[in-house]
């Protein structure tokens, strides 16, 4: 684990963390899917799907909160990252908006700790270095201007993403 003031970097499974909120890299339907979304739905249990159905989807770049159900996390903040289509479709701003919107919800709920996966870098195909650069910039900017959340945990799942973030956070 690497600590950088209010940002921690870990490699592992986000569904196991005992934090106030974990962020889900969901899709617009909010009905579950593969990757981290599937892992979160599996771990949280079927009641999560029931609550997600009530939310009636979510736009790309936006976020919605649910209970954490069977997770150790109290809440799940579901955000929808952009699908990478070459970079000319506002992908950068939409990905930044996922981090900003999720952090704003955490602040409004007075949450102290929030954990993010590497949104859009799996099936959605966002270039990993660029995604990490956007994530770190948005998180740092938000923390500079807000006292809550106190701590952001970036959860990488691959050695490749861990190394990318380790280098970025060392700068
Ligand atoms: P997207 O559709 O937004 O690309 P994915 O779930 O396919 O979402 O991938 C997002 C990131 O989450 C990827 O970097 C993937 O390696 C990572 N990931 C997959 N499962 C987990 C997990 N259990 N915990 C943390 N990160 C995960």
Whether the predicted pLDDT of 98 surpasses 80: yes
- The reply to whether 47 belongs to the active site is no
Cβ 157 under 6 angstroms from ligand 1: yes
pTM of the model: 0.98
Ligand 1, atom 1: closest residue by C-alpha: 120
Domain boundaries 2-170, corresponding CATH code: 3.40.220.10
pLDDT band at residue 1 under the 50/70/90 scheme: confident
Whether the predicted pLDDT of 35 surpasses 80: yes
- Ligand 1 atom closest to the Cα of residue 81 is 3
* pLDDT, position 89: 98
Ligand 1, atom 15: closest residue by C-alpha: 122
Ligand 1 mean position to 36 CA, how many Å? 4
Ligand 1 mean position to 5 CA, how many Å? 25
Contact residues for 159 (Cβ-Cβ < 8 A; gap 6+): 11
Ligand 1 mean position to 20 CA, how many Å? 19
pLDDT in tens, 116-156: 999 999 999 999 999 999 999 999 999 999 999 999 999 99
The tokens describing 98, both together, are 């996922």
* pLDDT, position 171: 81
Which of 80, 157, 165 has the most ligand 1 atoms within 8 A of CB, as the residue to mutate? 157
**Class of residue 107 by CB neighbours under 10 A (exposed 0-12, middle 13-18, buried 19+):** middle
pLDDT band at residue 3 under the 50/70/90 scheme: confident
pLDDT > 70 fraction of the chain, expressed in percent and rounded: 99
What is the mean pLDDT of the segment spanning 45-60? 98
Ligand 1 mean position to 55 CA, how many Å? 22
Domain spans in the chain, listed from the N-terminal domain onward: 2-170
Cis amide bond preceding 149, omega within 30: yes
Whether the predicted pLDDT of 29 surpasses 90: yes
Q: What average pLDDT does the chain have?
A: 97
* Of 29, 1, 30, 33, nearest in space to 115 by CA: 1
Query: Which one from 8, 37, 59, 90 is the annotated catalytic residue?
Result: 37
pLDDT band at residue 2 under the 50/70/90 scheme: confident
The tokens describing 4, both together, are 């950088």
What is the mean pLDDT of the segment spanning 43-53? 98
Whether the predicted pLDDT of 4 surpasses 80: no
Cβ 39 under 6 angstroms from ligand 1: yes
């Amino acid at each position: 684990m690497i600590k950088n003031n209010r940002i921690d970097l870990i490699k592992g499974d986000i569904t196991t963390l005992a934090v106030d909120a974990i962020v889900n890299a969901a899709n617009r339907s909010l009905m579950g899917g593969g990757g981290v979304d599937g892992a979160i739905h599996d771990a949280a249990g079927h009641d999560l799907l029931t609550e997600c159905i009530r939310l009636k989807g979510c736009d790309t770049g936006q976020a919605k909160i649910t209970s954490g159900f069977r997770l150790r996390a109290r809440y799940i903040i579901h955000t929808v990252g952009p699908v990478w289509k070459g970079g000319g479709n506002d992908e950068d701003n939409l990905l930044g908006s996922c981090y900003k919107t999720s952090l704003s919800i955490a602040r409004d709920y007075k949450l102290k700790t929030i954990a993010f996966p590497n949104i859009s870098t799996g099936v959605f195909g966002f270039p990993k270095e660029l995604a990490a650069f956007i994530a770190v910039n948005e998180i740092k900017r938000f923390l500079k201007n807000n006292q809550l959340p106190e701590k952001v945990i970036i959860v990488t799942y691959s050695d490749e993403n861990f190394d990318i973030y380790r280098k970025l956070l060392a700068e």
